[in-house]
Amino acid sequence: MCRSALAFFTASFVCLQNCRPAPAPFLRAAWVFLVVLGLGQSEDNRCTSSNAVSCTKCLALGPECGWCAQEDFISGGSRSERCDIISNLISKGCSIDSIEYPSVHVIPSENEINTQVTPGEVLIQLRPEAEANFMLKIHPLKKYPVDLYYLVDVSASMHNNIEKLNSVGNDLSRKMAYFSRDFRLGFGSYVDKTVSPYISIHPERIHNQCSDYNLDCMPPHGYIHVLSLTENITEFEKAVHRQKISGNIDTPEGGFDAMLQAAVCESHIGWRKEAKRLLLVMTDQTSHLALDSKLAGIVVPNDGNCHLKNNIYVRSTSMEHPSLGQLSEKLIDNNINVIFAVQGKQFHWYKDLLPLLPGTIAGEIESKAANLNNLVVEAYQVLFNVTVTMKKCDVTGGKSYAIIKPIGFNETTKIHIHRNCSCQCDDRRGPKRKCVDDVFLDAKCFQCNENKCHFDEDQLPSESCKSHKDQPVCSGRGVCVCGKCLCHKIKLGKVYGKYCEKDDFSCPYHHGNLCAGHGECEAGRCQCFSGWEGDRCQCPSASAQHCVNPKGQVCSGRGTCVCGRCECTDPRSIGRFCEHCPTCHTACSENWNCVQCLHPHNLSQAILDRCKTSCALMEQHYMDQTSECFSSPSYLRIFFIIFIVTFLIGLLKVLIVRQVILQWNSNKIKSSADYRVSSSKKDKLILQSVCTRAVTYRREKPEEIKMDISKLNAHETFRCNF
């Protein structure tokens, strides 16, 4: 089974030769293909909407754009039509031989032998925004050496998987014989940092962390290198058989700590420079990351160096876990491919780390690691789909190439890239062809040399394409070419105007029609045809006659006429003509000074002159004003109404207060009726309430005073009895 990986390269390289138009058969095939897909009718056509007026700019828009260099090609409308997709240009009458359409070519090297990475060289011709794809194959040679180092999590939960390793050696050797005749195996184990809170430091458990499992475990350790890489499979199986499990407290393990040591301790592990290096990590739990060590008070960053002494990692309790970036750097520097063989639900945790650790893969192992050898074999075969993309032509001169080096291999692939950024019509040695559509450009922009012309966009500043210095160029809806705005073509409608400030789609609609179908949209406002008015051109002009009141006033001077109906601008006005306004100044009060003009007897000449000027219309509407004055409430009438209402309210309050007082007096007389007596016995009602007696006594023996107060009957006199 082959695994594929996707590699994206964004190239920024230099064109070494001028592009040539694509051959006619290729263009015919492309045209048929586009027609079948319906691309010729695409609504979002960036080739035409960008208003490109030169071949170079057209080709830079995208790989689907072509330029018609035909001399007599007819361009209609207010924009250049030479830049379009191939099917549209052909349908407009442009001959296939006159279409500038550089194609993409990928030419790999052939007949390569004794190499693992093929092709060794690739020649690619690209145009802006185009992509080129080719397959990069990793074909291992049988004579190529392979080093495989097993790094195993030996915590108690991995007990069953470690037992399975006893039979891995011979089986894996037989399978790897198909790929390499020089195969070596090594072995190492890890648990976690031997400090709290990662392990139990209780004296009874510090040497046996597996007491909860009823197992005899070896003491915990950060990383132990058990067996260097060897061709002796029997020795490998014996080392695995002697391996005991260990244990810790927390769930994550110290896998990344052990991986970094296995990568950088080249002499201890026995990595060969010419060999393909594979590091297989077996675990069922996640791994600690950088800064996790602070829980144990370890704050010294990992230095990325080898710290094995007697095959034991001696800085496990004094240095932090490595970061992912640091681990990735060491794996790449030492040309090591990592295989994560994970059992259980933590497989997805490692799978998410793959983009951060280049050259690594993750596989899920079955119960008791039955498929472990298959993971190694699958990881040894690699197939890459390489995609090269060129964004734009912004560099000139020089030579361009890229080098791809697969991690874990010493061989490379060299990619030579030619940028097709120019057009054949720029070549003055060829037939006369148009690379610039001069219909839409100012003559000041042209600089011609014999048969070759080009224009300078910097000749005229972009300020001439702004309606105001604070406004965007061409109102943000076009491009400035030689001091003139070429407006974008968009789906909604037409954009036009000197600064692309006008359009035919942003005005208000009425019943689904722009400007009600009775006007044109200019700069966001409806310009109505003759006989129509309103902000949407929805009203006939003659409808204003329906808003005139009998006095000849439009909406009584208190509103505006909209489509034959008055809309009162004064919120106090109501009525068909806004003629009723109860809280407004009435005609009577407004014309009070003119009332005397209706009775000109005994008036001075000055008042008569004022009547003729200011009150000339008073006589015409005398009856209307008089009726309005009589119909409106007078100030005196309002005063009397308010006075009577106030008087009645005050009288009501007085009556209520009087009734409350009478009721209170009645209750008081009734409650005191039982205590009334005749005036002849009035003196008997005055009872003595205080009895006094002077007593002389000594401090040593005070005299006892006895007082007897008996219950009194009615009309009895209070007596003091001592």
Nearest to 48 by CA among 100, 101, 97, 86: 86
Class for the domain spanning 543-581: mainly beta
Q: Is 341 exposed, middle or buried (0-12, 13-18, 19+ CB in 10 A)?
A: buried
Nearest to 187 by CA among 220, 225, 160: 225
pLDDT digits (tens, 9 = 90+) for 461-507: 567 888 888 888 888 888 787 777 878 777 777 788 888 888 878 88
Please state the domain extents for the chain: 46-100, 105-139+385-419, 146-380, 462-533, 543-581
Give the mean pLDDT of 150-162: 84
Which of the four pLDDT bands, split at 50, 70 and 90, describes residue 324? very high
Q: Taking the CB of residue 602, how many other CB atoms lie within 10 A of it? A: 7
pLDDT value at residue 187: 94
Which of the four pLDDT bands, split at 50, 70 and 90, describes residue 27? very low
Separation between Cα atoms, residue 522 and residue 493, nearest integer Å: 12
Is 543-581 the same fold as 46-100?
no
pLDDT digits (tens, 9 = 90+) for 354-366: 999 988 889 888 7
Give phi and psi for 301, each to the nearest 5: -65, 150
Separation between Cα atoms, residue 319 and residue 336, nearest integer Å: 23
CATH for 105-139+385-419 is: 2.60.40.1510
Cut 0.85: pTM above it: no
Which residue stretches of 335-452 are H helix? 347-353, 372-380
Residue 412 pLDDT exceeds 80: yes
647's enclosing H/E stretch is: helix 635-671
3-state secondary structure of 466: coil
Which of the four pLDDT bands, split at 50, 70 and 90, describes residue 153? very high
Placement of tokens 């601008």 in the chain: 569
Average pLDDT, the chain: 75
Paired tokens of 382:
């690699």
Residue 144 pLDDT exceeds 50: yes
Paired tokens of 151:
């790094």
Report yes or no: 499 and 466 within 8 Å, Cβ to Cβ: yes
CATH for 146-380 is: 3.40.50.410
Separation between Cα atoms, residue 462 and residue 653, nearest integer Å: 84
Residue 51: left (phi > 0), alpha (psi -120 to 50), or beta?
left
> Residue 147 forms beta bridges with which residues?
184, 277
Domain 46-100: homologous superfamily in CATH: ligand-binding face of the semaphorins, domain 2 (3.30.1680.10)
Q: Taking the CB of residue 102, how many other CB atoms lie within 10 A of it? A: 24
Residue 261 pLDDT exceeds 90: yes
Q: Which fold has domain 462-533?
A: Laminin (2.10.25)
